[in-house]
Amino acid sequence: MKAFRLDELEAERTANEGAYLQFLRERNMSVGLYALNAGEHDPQKPHSQDEVYFVVSGRASITVGQETTQVARGSVVYVPAGVPHKFHHISEDLRVLVVFSPPEA
């Protein structure tokens, strides 16, 4: 078993001075913590893996392809591989668990 605490992951992400911290990588998936602060720009490009976002905290909009929705704590969004997507209008610091399948390259 592998178990993680969000507060410890956030501290590690901050210490590494990055917006993304991959903390689990297995044969069929990888999981990371993604952070964007209020007002920040999301620099993401489409990925070659399917993704699931689980919003831990914060508020923003996300556009996936041509569709846009509001997200907040508890929101879950699926993004198919290769589809352009971005968080925007980030009104509260955003913390998101990201699951990639297969694992992010």
Gap between the Cα atoms of 16 and 43, Å rounded: 18
The pLDDT, as a whole number, for residue 104 is 85
Q: What is the 3-state secondary structure (H, E, C) of the chain?
A: CCCCCHHHHHHHHHHCCCCEEEEEECCCCEEEEEEECCCCCCCCCCCCCEEEEEEEEEEEEEEECCEEEEEECCCEEEECCCCCEEEEEEEEEEEEEEEEECCCC
The pLDDT, as a whole number, for residue 84 is 98
Gap between the Cα atoms of 18 and 35, Å rounded: 8
Distances in whole angstroms, Cα of residue 58 to Cα of each of 13, 78, 90, 91 = 17, 18, 8, 7
The list of the chain residues with pLDDT below 50 reads none
pTM for the full model? Answer: 0.94
> Residue 38 is encoded by which pair of tokens?
């209020």
